[in-house]
Amino acid sequence: MEAQKPTQQAARPKAQPKTESNVRGIKNAFLVIVACFIVAVCLFLFFFGSPTNFDLDEAQLAAAPASMWFFEGEAHPINIIGTIFMGGIIVPVLQTLFLTVIVLSVERYIALRSAKGTGSITKFVANVKSCLAKNDIAAAQELCKKQKGSVAAVVAATLVRYKEMDENNALSKEQKITTIQKELEEATALEMPALQQNLPIVATMTTLGTLVGLLGTVIGMIKSFQALSASGAPDSTALSTGISEALVNTAFGIATGAFAVISYNFYTNKIDNLTYAIDEIGFSIVQTFAATH
């Protein structure tokens, strides 16, 4: 019984020390939303609400505060920037959503670019499959070191287990194949959350941006009808303010929703391509082991 102990220990798969993905990204999207809200409020108050965007005379302009939000007098916008300010308090909320989509889209672009690695995924897959056909595991591992990224990380982890099973004489062929498949699944499961991180937030902005824009539209139309229902002649200023608020919020809501849809679908397609590459190489590794052992 003592002589069998080394064999039993050799049959045990080595534990993988890696516990997190190589893909880096923004972990806390809440901080992104807070930062975007601060930027949006500053833009709304001091850029869109700048007195220079309204028909103030020189005396009023000199006496006006830094933002029309604190200006007590009535003024009409003289450009589209001032018109956006007339959209009301919903505008900075919509700008927050829009900026959040932009920031997270850029963050996903950088993250998925690093996940792709240094070269073409298609070429990498073809080269690894060629090495597997020649049963040259060392060459395949070297390709993974050069490629880097999520696909290469999954393949490298699977090839390490492949090599261990190749040298293992204690397990049956079916057990070895199962062990390799399990390593492939675990390595893939480790990378997938990092690839999909923050995309659910972008998807949420698709609906949320449209709904908030609709809320701003309804508020603006309520103000317009209030101006029309006033006694006597309708207040043209109040009427135009309500219509501006409705249209500006509609525009921002549509823009936020449209950009979020495009961004989400674009990066989902990128992730699918990476997943297909992992599945293709993983299948090749398992089939190669099954055919050569």
Model pLDDT for residues 68-108, shown as the tens digit of each residue: 898 877 788 888 898 899 888 899 999 999 999 999 999 99
Q: Residue 100 and residue 104: Cα distance in Å, rounded?
A: 6
The set of residues, in sequence order, having a beta carbon less than 8 Å from that of 6 and lying 6+ positions away, is none
29, two tokens: 């999207």
| Mean per-residue pLDDT of the chain | 86
Q: Specify the pLDDT at position 237.
A: 67
* Residue labelled with tokens 């880096």: 24
24, two tokens: 């880096």
DSSP bridge pairs for 54: 77
- Triad 267, 194, 137: Cα angle to 5°: 100
Left if phi > 0, otherwise alpha if psi is -120 to 50, otherwise beta: which for 230? beta
Q: Specify the pLDDT at position 74.
A: 76
Q: Specify the pLDDT at position 59.
A: 85
Contact 261, 206 (CB under 8 A): yes
pTM of the model: 0.84
pLDDT reading at 155 higher than 80: yes
pLDDT category, 238, cuts 50, 70, 90? low
Q: Specify the pLDDT at position 178.
A: 92
pLDDT in tens, 102-112: 999 999 999 99
Closest by CA position to 247, among listed 270, 277, 213, 271? 213
Structural domain boundaries in the chain: 28-85, 86-292
